[in-house]
Each structure stands twice: as C-alpha cells, then as structure tokens.
Amino acid sequence: MRIYIPLCVSDFSREALSPRSVHGVTHELRRVFPRADEEGLEYAATMSAADDSLRRLSAADRVLRRTVAVAEVPGKILALPAPAGSNVPSVLLLREELPWNCVESLLVDEPGNESLVRRALNGDENAFLLTGEIELLWYDISERALLREELNPPA
C-alpha cells in the first residue's frame, strides 16, 4: 500500500522512520469522498500527511517547511487507529520502523513560505488553512542528504 509519512527535520538524520500515524487511501477515505478518483484520494492523503508534518515541526527548527515521505509498504505493517484515535479518514498506524530504502520519494514545501508555516505553527488557524495552497515539491529519495542539509543548515 502507498503511504504518506509526515516528517520533521530530525527524521532525516535517523537510520529508519519510527512508528507513527501515516496516511493512505483507506476504505474510510473512499467512503468520505465517493466521487473522487484515485489521484484525488492520493492528494487528500498527501495533504493530511502535510498537515501532520506541520504539527511535528518545532519552533526551534531553523527552516520551517512541511515534509512528507512516500513509500510502498506491505499492509501487514499497518493498522487502523483505535476508534477514538483519529477522525481523519486517511489515517493509519505504521506499527514498525521503516527503513529509508522503502521510501520512494519526498515531498517538501516550496521555499519562501516559512513565515506562513510559522504563523500556522503558532496557532493561526487562517495560516494553517493557507498552508494547503503551498506547492509540495517532489524529490527523489536519492536527494535525502541534500534535503537534510537544506532543512537543517549549520547555525
């Protein structure tokens, strides 16, 4: 199953991605958007992961850009959240660590929107909604080290 994994800057330096909430095209997402095509459903899952990435950011991060990893994983390492766990129809639980070699690509906010992300991070609901309009740029997984340096420049 294709999943969209919300990241924060520190994830780029880890050996593997830790268990966490991720997003995918679930039965519940299909039920909520019955007329959406596959591309529209994947977009909805991607944007939910980007929202979660924003929530994972810290005001201490030097570069505030949402990041999402895209991976194909076997369904056996995923679980549905507990009934009270989430009301987001795309959410799944990644039950075990995921090595970086399972990640196919990375999606990162277009540069120049950090002040909007900072406002959203500080609780500005309008700014949070506007982050949905930021273009997510596609990077091949081979560019991970480059992105790690770009998102966490030396002080």
* 42/26 Cα distance (integer angstroms): 10
Q: In the numeric block, which tokens belong to residue 52?
A: 């979660």
* 6/155 Cα distance (integer angstroms): 25
Per-residue model confidence (pLDDT) at position 140: 97
Mean pLDDT, consecutive 10-residue stretches, the chain (155 aa), reads 94 94 95 95 97 90 93 92 72 95 97 95 96 97 94 80
Q: pTM here?
A: 0.93
Contact 86, 21 (CB under 8 A): yes
Per-residue model confidence (pLDDT) at position 82: 57
Per-residue model confidence (pLDDT) at position 24: 96
110 CB neighbour count, 10 Å cutoff: 10
Per-residue model confidence (pLDDT) at position 104: 97
Per-residue model confidence (pLDDT) at position 81: 76
Per-residue model confidence (pLDDT) at position 84: 55
